[in-house]
Structure 1
Amino acid sequence: MAAPAHVETSYNEHRPRKPPPDLPSLLLNSRIVYVGMPLVPAVTELVIAELLYLQYSDPTLPIYMYINSTGTSRADGETVGMETEGFAIHDTMQLVKNEIHTVGVGAAIGQACLLLAAGTKGKRYMLPHATAMIQQPRMPSMGQMPAIDLHLRAKEVIHNRDTLVELLAEHTGNPVEKVAKVMRRPYYMSPKKAMDFGVVDKILWRGQEAMGETLSPEQWDKRAGIRAVERPMTYGAGTSGLG
């Protein structure tokens, strides 16, 4: 009979000698940068580091950036990051020598929509059921901040708004006046609408470029063989609608 020590040694031989890499590292090996959270400082730090690393490893190969982010705010509208977080990633995208292919998956809201539009022209995509939205920067809660500080913060928010308008106009090919007008209220865009506005160039479906086809989500579902079934509303016994 083998001694317990011998059995344990044999078992250890089948264990990994080092822990497996984390998922972002595995994606990085395929030159994929995934922005899947609001743009808080920790996310900004990671995304910029990945962009710089991929340029260092090979400045001739493209970088693939997948975006599903609510920008500098959460889904409920609460501000979680400074607008400069989005500008920092945007400027790094323009700095690196690589082509950057952007893909909107899920949602690209606010500053995340800017990142989607900032990809290499002709290489900006959305999935058929993704959503893009541009909006004005939001001022976070100021608490007991003195009036003069409130005034300075408001001026900074207006400056960031103007910068965002100018950058979106540059990347979408729209006049500044048009971008400023639609941004007065949240401006939601389906993939077709985002193409018309110049945020993206093509719709991506099952790994294939849609070559500029502007189908509605329902038409994409029909092409994929997905059929929505409408069920009639029923009431329980003894009920009468309005009660």
Structure 2
Amino acid sequence: MTPSAVANLAGASPLPAFAPRPRSRPNSASPGPFGPAPRRLAVAAPPRAFFSSAPYQPPEPEGYSSVREYGLVPMVVETTSRGERAYDIFSRLLKERIVCIHGPIADETASLVVAQLLFLESENPLKPISLYINSPGGVVTAGLAIYDTMQYIRCPVNTICIGQAASMGSLLLAAGARGERRALPNARVMIHQPSGGAQGQATDIAIQAKEILKLRDRLNKIYAKHTGQNIDKIEQCMERDLFMDPEEAREWGLIDEVIENRPASLMPEGLSAVDPPHHGGGAGANGRGRDRDMEEPSAV
């Protein structure tokens, strides 16, 4: 082998090199087999606006269901003369006229709560409904759907704050029947003005900004109606987040009472305020015994 051939082998790459073939971009003006290709026109995205009394959160992924927020939902087995029947825990509470708002208030939550309120009214239009609230707030329009339904039905709605009632949750808490708005001692309440965003043309953004100001005025009037506060004080307090403990919320007019034990008006059917305490527990602060566990259903 000649020296020049050895030098060529030493400098050669062990793997063959393949140069990529350049791809030619199709010319939109060039005629195809069926004539010239049509040109695509740029279309501006439609404006969007998000009105919520909590910071905007991106939409949930496809297939999301608000029921999944609770994780594993316990089932309750009830024994009757016809045999055993299983309920999920929320359906069993619905039989006792108890409705729960847990988590952010969205359109799905509003649809479920509104349907439950209307159903309970059809069952008994005069019997009270207990609405337990533990919510950081959510979409204003969804919350107003629940609020309007609470005012629409003939049943008095007793509201109870457990955990927190922030933003739109505080408005629903204050919208309960007068004298029947309560909070547990370690709950908290927060009020603030609605927040929102918009995009699109300048004219559309101006329209959305005008709409959210109207929405803020409407919410202030609702708070004034149920708390007895004047509009000026409400606007001043709602300028920024205002957190309150139950006693402060009672003084502000959002609730009527801070409770540690279940009052007689919230007793399930078959139980009374004079029932003996269960598990050796003593009477509460108001001299009432704790309610016993229901005998028939058992959690599984």
Q: TM-score, normalised by structure 1?
A: 0.72
C-alpha separation in 2, matches of 1:208 and 1:28: 19
- The partner residue of 1:114 within 152, 171, 176 is 171
Q: 1:145 to 1:18 in 2, by over 3 A?
A: farther
Output one character per residue of 1:60-93: Cα deviation in whole Å (capped at 9) or x when no partner. 1100000001111xxxxxxxx3x11111111110
The percent identity for this pair of structures is 38
Aligned to 2:152: 95
Other structure's SS at 2:176 match = coil
C-alpha separation in 2, matches of 1:152 and 1:86: 22
Other structure's SS at 1:21 match = strand
**By how many angstroms is 1:208 displaced?**
4.1
Output one character per residue of 1:164-206: Cα deviation in whole Å (capped at 9) or x when no partner. 1000000001111111110011111110000000000001102
The answer to whether structure 1 residue 60 and structure 2 residue 126 are counterparts is: yes
C-alpha separation in 2, matches of 1:103 and 1:164: 20
C-alpha separation in 1, matches of 2:167 and 2:210: 19
Of Structure 1 and Structure 2, the greater helix share is in 1
Other structure's SS at 2:162 match = strand
Other structure's SS at 1:205 match = coil
The answer to whether structure 1 residue 33 and structure 2 residue 90 are counterparts is: no
Output one character per residue of 1:79-108: Cα deviation in whole Å (capped at 9) or x when no partner. xx3x11111111110011011110011111
Partner AA of 2:158 in structure 1: H
Aligned to 1:125: 182
**By how many angstroms is 1:22 displaced?**
2.2
Partner AA of 1:195 in structure 2: R
Equivalent pairs, count: 183
What do you get for the CA RMSD once the two structures are aligned? 1.7
Aligned to 2:225: 170
- The partner residue of 1:187 within 229, 239, 242 is 242
Q: Can you give the 5+ residue segments of structure 1 that lack an aligned partner in the other structure? A: 1-16, 73-80, 210-222, 224-243
Larger Rg: 2
